[in-house]
Amino acid sequence: MSPAERAPADRRRAYPSDVSGRITRDEAAHVARLARLRFSDEELDELAAQLSAVLDHAADVEALDVTDIAPTSHPHPLVNVTRADEVRPSLDRDEVLAQAPSVDDGQFRVPPILGEAP
């Protein structure tokens, strides 16, 4: 196949003309809630601008028409890996719990899950 035949330009539509401010502060705040992170308004504005810049760069991918191409989620075709169903030692419970921030009676201890809203 010659380089010209494979040029991605064939697959590329025109870049969107307006490529700035793709993400607003409110959208950034929504994403932060999904990601369980907290930011000040100033940080949200900065993130919105930085994320917009990355998405602007990704306009080349966004503009591609690749509907006829199958997706690849892993570089090699993966097959399910199984093993014999035999009892084997697992990690030592005390060694694992020793790394936890808070334990109680052989278990991880956490603050109340129900009750006060975040």
Partner 1 sequence: MTALGIAAAVKSGERTALDVLDEHLARISQRDTEIGAFNLVLADEARTAAREVDAAVSRGDAVGPLAGVPVALKDNLCTRGVPTTCSSRMLEGWRPPYDATVVQRLRSAGAVIVGKTNLDEFAMGSSTENSAFGPTRNPHDTDRVPGGSSGGSAAAVAAGFAPLALGSDTGGSVRQPAALCGVVGLKPTYGAVSRYGLVAFASSLDQIGPMASNVADAAACFEAISGHDPLDSTSIDGARDPVVAGLGQGVNGLRVGLVAELCAGSARLQEADGLDGVSAVEGVAADVIGRVDAAAAALEAAGAAVTVVSVPSAVLGLSAYYLIAPAEASSNLARYDGVRYGLRVDAANAAEMNVSSRTAGFGAEVKRRIMLGTYALSAGYYDAFYAKTLRVRTLMLRECAAAYAGVDVLLGPTAPTTAFELGAKTADPLLMYLNDVCTIPSNLTGHPAVSVPFGCGDDGLPVGVQLMGPALSEPVLLRAAAVLEKAAPPDGNAP
User: What minimum distance in Å lies between the beta carbon of 18 and partner 1?
Assistant: 15
> Distance between CA 47 and CA 16 in Å, rounded?
21
Query: CA quadruple 75, 79, 80, 86: dihedral positive or negative?
Result: negative
Question: Closest CB to partner 1 among 106 and 118?
Answer: 118
2 phi/psi in degrees, rounded to 5: -80, 155
Task: State the residues that interact with partner 1 by CB under 8 A.
Answer: 1-4, 6-9, 23, 27-28, 31-32, 34-39, 47, 50-51, 53-55, 57-62, 64, 66, 69-76, 78, 81, 83, 91-92, 95-96, 98-102, 108, 110-118
Q: How many residues does the chain have?
A: 118
